[in-house]
Chains A and B, each alone.
Chain A
Amino acid sequence: MTGDLILDVSDLKVHFPVRMGSGLRPNTVPLKAVDGISFVLHAGETLGIVGESGCGKSTLGRAILSLVRPTSGHIAWLGEELTHMEKRALRDKRKDLQLVFQDPLASLNPRMTIGEIIAEPLRSFSPERTSADRGRMVRDMMSRVGLSPQMTNRYPHEFSGGQCQRISIARAMILAPRLVVLDEPVSALDVSIQAQIINLLKDLQADYGLSYIFISHDLSVVRHMCDRVLIMYLGQVVEQAPVHTLFERPAHPYTINLIQAVPIPDPVKERAKQGPVLMGDPPSPLDPPSGCRFHPRCLRAEATCKTRAPVLETVGTGHEAACFRWRESL
């Protein structure tokens, strides 16, 4: 069902220096946004990256596209290492790697017409094309994403949120990329529009054989979109599994709590929900807890969890979890 290995990320770390304290010698503390993440992605696959605000999921997405420089680790794209690649060589790879942001209007230049916006990647990457050729490609792409090609001369503010997201998608797709990182692409949209965009993304994937990295905090959308899911907590992966396994047999207590917390649009089921609500807020990534980073909020935490950090271990087919007590979940 999925094809060749296209992306292989291993032990990726992205640390940002943050100045703490004041005076003449403020000390610098590393904010470990991404702290040792490994995963692979196959052609045609959709990998979901899920976690709460501040868990590092967007930084991970940007690091994969080489938009932030990783502190250490490796990113192999089609067998080529991206982390040490020269700028010019990297630019060449960018054609294949595209990004769609959450806020559709903010990611479009208000002073460009949507025709210009969608054509811009073509101008950058295939300057040899004639403008007539570009115009034709833009119009084809517009109708492909559900925008009327007559609207090329309009400006972003004339469009609704859902249409702006279609424009962003058209811009990302025009170079026929192989991987698109979708960073919360439907979170800002109304429910009825959200469904349209999800369907569009799936159709494009089927047509072009694209791979997606789908960053989201919405588990219902992830379940619908993704083949495989990584659950992140404070810069680390706590669980990774094929989508059905993750929702049917979650192993990590954090995953279990996340799934439990999603409100179900069904009054009887929602009110019959049992089990404790996950208490507390995620701790600051500047000062992550010792041992297992989830232990202060975990109902299963025991003495070991405070001192030793669990590593990802195989708990089933294609299913890994970083928890000492995962056996109690399955």
Chain B
Amino acid sequence: MAEPILTAEGLGVAFETPDGTVRAVTDLSFTLNKGECLGIVGESGSGKSQTFLAALGLLADNGTASGTVTFQGQNLLDLTQQKLNTIRGDRITMIFQDALTGLTPHMRMGDQLGEVLIAHQGLTKTAAPQRVLDLITRLRIPDPEKRLRMYPHELSGGMRQRMMIAMALLCEPDILIADEPTTALDVTIQAQVLHLLGGLKKHTKTSIILVTHDLGVVAGLCDRVMVMYAGRMVEQALVNELFYDPKHPYTRGLLASMPRLTDDVGDKTGRLSAIPGQPPNLQDMPGGCAFAPRCAAVQARCHTERPPLTQRDGMRRLACHLEGAS
């Protein structure tokens, strides 16, 4: 029943810097299934964004990608920019944290949304506006006609993000990659955007990749979750398995360090169980497991031997020396 639509194998992303090579992503393999919402969780610098920028050929000039990312039988990493342009914005679309930089400042919203249809679906200049209006109305964006006449700077942050999502959905893509789509938004506006993404998941066949550091957002939307640390996947599981039975000490640490509104974890007098230390410098990675210096359950061999990512029970994959890691 699970039909893969995007498969990454041995994906690596490296940047050449004056201080040497920085490996942002190392040997990453994963699949995205049709209609699925896959969450990618990790801290700043864990490689979660670079993974998808690499897949879409959007790396900075000093970055190189290795391995394969297969979509519809072709390796995206081998395609020319011209070929990629027929996929990007059409079959695979991406939305970013900062919607203002993703929009053209001097074009009215209606025109820039219409341009997507003209470029990818060959619609005429007269036919495009109606299709745009239909979609905006379907996404329940209030005052659609008025909003489409506006320039990006005239819209609020939440409205811009909704317009970005609308733009990403115009061609009914196979995959929508949402990179921290609600991080810059206020909590009430975040709830509106998450509601929109939730509706999208229910009513369309689009697969969603949700890159975020917010485990609350993941809990509401994702079917499966992948946890990244220092450029590698450390754990992957179905959403319930991950939240109720986390195996990797990093995943556990993350879940435990979150202050919560519910239950008594967040008692005013109590302390949060923080993960000590900081993520490693990607230029100076520790030998063995990258998480070992911060790990509560560290053993001697963790410092010398990097644990391989192995398949565990069910859908779980885990990179930890502790058997079952409990």
Contact = CB atoms under 8 A, between A and B. Distances in A.
B248 interface: no
Interface stretch (A8-16, A64-72, A277-285): A277-285
B203 interface: no
A260 B262 CA distance: 11
Interface string B245-259: 000000001110111
Given A277-B191, A278-B188, A281-B159, A162 B266 contact: no
Nearest to B250: A192
Contact of B278 (A53, A162, A219): A162
Interface stretch (A27-35, A133-141, A261-269, A317-325): A261-269
A264 B260 contact: yes
A256 to B, nearest CB: 11
A219 B274 contact: no
B189 interface: yes
Interface string A218-245: 1111011111000000000000000100
B276 interface: yes
Interface residues of A, number: 49
B253 A192 contact: yes
Interface in B201-224: 213-220
B219 A266 contact: yes
A196 B273 CA distance: 8
B190 A190 contact: no
B259 A258 contact: no
Among B195, B257, B261, which residue has the most Cβ atoms of chain A within 10 A? B261
Given A192-B253, A267-B220, A267-B239, A223 B261 contact: yes
Interface string A299-330: 00000000000000000000000000000000
Contacts of B16: none
Given A195-B274, A265-B258, A223 B266 contact: yes
Contacts of A161: 44
Nearest to B262: A264
Given A224-B268, A247-B261, A264 B216 contact: yes
B183 to A, nearest CB: 10
A264 to B, nearest CB: 6
Interface string B139-163: 0001000000000000011110000
Nearest to A219: B261
A78 interface: no
Contact of B254 (A53, A192, A199): A192
A219 B259 CA distance: 9
A160 interface: yes
A174 to B, nearest CB: 23
B240 interface: yes
A162 B44 CA distance: 12
Contacts of A199: 271-272, 274
B118 interface: no
A190 B213 CA distance: 8
B261 A190 contact: no
A198 B187 contact: no
B52 interface: no
A196 B253 CA distance: 12
A195 B189 contact: no
B220 A263 contact: yes
A162 to B, nearest CB: 6
Contacts of B213: 190-191
B271 to A, nearest CB: 5
A224 B266 contact: yes
B268 A277 contact: no
A261 B260 contact: no
Contacts of B253: 192
B254 A226 contact: no
A45 B159 CA distance: 38
Given A192-B43, A221-B259, A263 B278 contact: no
Given A52-B188, A223-B266, A265 B272 contact: no
A102 interface: no
Contacts of B53: none
Nearest to A192: B275
Given A191-B258, A220-B261, A261 B240 contact: no
Among B186, B190, B214, chain A packs the most CB atoms within 10 A around the CB of B186
B259 A195 contact: yes
B243 interface: yes
Contact of B261 (A52, A192, A259): A259
Interface in A173-206: 190-196, 198-199, 202
Contacts of B219: 263-267, 269-271
A257 interface: yes
B194 interface: yes
B70 interface: no
Contacts of A262: 187, 216, 261
Contact of B258 (A162, A220, A261): A220
Contacts of B255: 265
Contact of A270 (B44, B188, B216): B216
Given A192-B253, A265-B260, 20 more contacts: A163-B278, A191-B43, A192-B274, A195-B259, A196-B276, A198-B274, A219-B187, A223-B260, A257-B188, A259-B261, A261-B190, A261-B191, A263-B191, A265-B243, A266-B219, A267-B239, A277-B188, A278-B188, A279-B192, A281-B189
Interface of A: 52-53, 160-163, 190-196, 198-199, 202, 217-221, 223-227, 243, 247, 257-271, 277-282
